[in-house]
Structure formats: C-alpha cells, structure tokens
Amino acid sequence: SPGLRTFRPLAAAATVDNIFADLQPVPPGEPPPSEEELARFFD
C-alpha cells in the first residue's frame, strides 16, 4: 500500500500475552516477503 513500509521477519517468539519479532525493512524495488516466508514465523 502506498505510504506503508514493508518489513521482512528475521526472528519471532511469543509468550501468552505478546509476540516479539525482529524485522528488517524491505528495500524499495524488492518484492515483499512471500506467504511461505511469513507463515514460517506467523502461522
């Protein structure tokens, strides 16, 4: 979406109450993370 930055997950962890994620900005012109890449961390 215009005006929104896309990020790629590097690592993720969760507790009962929280989700923690290390994110890396996707450089302009690079494709966003695939559904498979996101599912690895957030499925």
- For the chain, give every domain's residue range: 7-42
What are the tens digits of pLDDT across the range 12-29? 999 999 999 999 999 989
Of 21, 28, 39, 37, residue with least CA distance to 6: 28
Query: CA torsion sign, 39 to 35 to 20 to 10?
Result: positive
Q: What is the pLDDT of residue 8?
A: 94
User: Is the model's pLDDT at 1 over the cut of 70?
Assistant: no
The percentage of residues in the chain with a pLDDT greater than 90, rounded to a whole number, is 67
pTM beyond 0.85: the answer is no
